[in-house]
Structure 1
Amino acid sequence: MEKIISFCLLLFAFGFLSAQEVFYEHYGNEVEIWVVLPYNSINFKKGSDEALYQVSLQISDAKKKQVATLEKSQIIPKCSWLNDCGIPIHFRQELPQGSYNVILQIKNKAMGERRSYSRQFIIGSSSTEIGLSWIIAKREDLEYLPNTLSGLISDEVKLYQSYSISLDSLKITIDNQVLTVKNPQSPIVLDLLPYLQTDAQNLMNLIFYENNIYYKMEPFLFTPWYAYSLRYSLEDQIRQIRYIANQNEWKYLRRLPKEKQAEAIETFWKANDPSPGTVRNELREQFYQRVMIADERFTLHKKIAGWTTDQGRIYIKYGEPDDIYSEVYALDKYPYIIWYYYDKNLEFIFADITGYGQYTLRNKDEEY
């Protein structure tokens, strides 16, 4: 029996946005927490070649009682090879089953800059079956998450993998090379550098064998969609979900008080997970990607967010059109653009009625 866990890379056609994100994996009584700092969001003091960041987590239970405080510091050098990569900060903490709130605080020690974010997670009775396949590279004594394995130049490249199921073996394929590990023990830490070539694509996949079941996965590399949940408020996230939610889901979400929005969003995505039981939700990642691309492409004068426009909404719902036709200087007509989706037998007509570049959907019946 085959289970496919698609860890596809998400490619973006725009510059990286300042962000950081938190990832949780649960094994027995222990939670692994990863905080990822995008290098492109790091601020350096004028004249300095490095920045000192302090990352702290304050974890509270459902009764708002603080149960753990975790803290690490990281010196980050100023160097071009880190562009579009991430800096991982890894924590472990024993916690019983229950709901938890995390206050994440990131402080630039030299500049005094401080950012705080709130996150929630739930520890249930079952552990994470197979966690994220982290690729941790090391160069100049700094561990980082590369955004690609193609042309990677590093002193070390390791796979870090945790899991809770009973594995018979792990097979890693890098281009045409195969590495097999019999009876692996969690967490797996493997040196991949001997299998990587600087002039090759280094396309990699992993197959985990459990009796008569095997799981196909791809490496977890750094991608810009991590920015989503920090860029958009919970209220914005619910308004965006409206684009793809059914009528019953939307009726429920729109009436929620603020304190229940975060949990409801997680429940929505769990119910709409194409690969339930795995750490990643491919539909959710695709949605995040589309929202952020819509913002980059269709935001007007920094006052109208791209995802709130008609073009942004259609893009989030249906993705890239198969074909586009436009008349920007149409005679005796408003400038217009037509998006064609051949597989769905849909076409959307947008016109710039105001003359200020805001294209509104003219055939709204087609959308529904």
Structure 2
Amino acid sequence: MYDKESEKKYVSDIEIIFQVLEKDSDYEISRKVKEISFIKESFYQIKSNNLHKGEIEFDLESNPYQINIKIIDIKSRRVWNKSMDIDKNSSDLFSDIYFYNLDNDDNSYINKFVDKDIQNLGCRFQYVNSKGVESLNLYLMKMNDTLYTEKIYVKPSFNEYDINIPISDDVKGNVVCVITDNDVSKFKKLIFEDKNMSNIWSYDQNKLKMIMRYVLPHKIYKKIKKMEADELKFFLKDYFKKLDPDIETPENELIDELNFRIKYAKSKFKEQKTEGWKTDRGRIYIVYGQPKSINEEENPRTLEKRETWVYPSGDIFVFEKKSYGRYYLINGIF
């Protein structure tokens, strides 16, 4: 959680607790605490880049361990927990893959969605060469097609790699990045925006009105229903200008977020011939954004697949997969 200390200063203070347990006995081997402060100059930066890259060292024997990580927001006291198993003798030689934008000065972190304007994608990871491997292979793959490949030569006594991936126009939609030593592989899913995909203000008036039906108060939506294209866009631009969360920046962060959600829904939730933003899951995503968690299960009576989306606000949405692969919202009306 960020505090706005001044017009161009947003601050968030985080405490991270690392606990190492012996796997078999749950005996605590070590515990370390790290404090981090995030300082941003605008509301837009808060939304776009909140990754901290750092290292913490433990001197461990060659035994299996469990690491518990607790992240505490110092102001709100909200807590996030994560546990993982590690074994120095295991074959898990890759760290997670970290992507960032090489085209801007701050090298902003990319979690999943790659903007269409990005021409160079940074890819950073660690690899422990315990098998005498001479090279790794990096692939960008879409279904059974290989869109990009690069051979990465492994350096002796060097674990960290930073790769520049040029993005061509044919890289779009759901893509998987694979890094492999031909024995062990690491995967990361990305969604590349189509370079020909338009932003929200280029939509025709019917599509724009359908999207606004999701997000506008009913009274405002009734007002725009009979507007023609030019009047509609002028009205909406003025309406959202008044809601701009940070007038100090040239961007309207609220519109940027809405545009992102629409594009993500189009890429992620398409069902048969129905565009992703028109589906039940797409509509909920556009209005509420990314859920805190998504749980997948089966209806015990019908064995239909279910997705339960849980939000920090307490809102819960349940979707059930019916005929022809369509997911329908089954708890309430939207």
TM-score scaled by length of structure 1: 0.43
Which structure has more relative contact order (CA 8 Å, sep 6+)? It is: 1
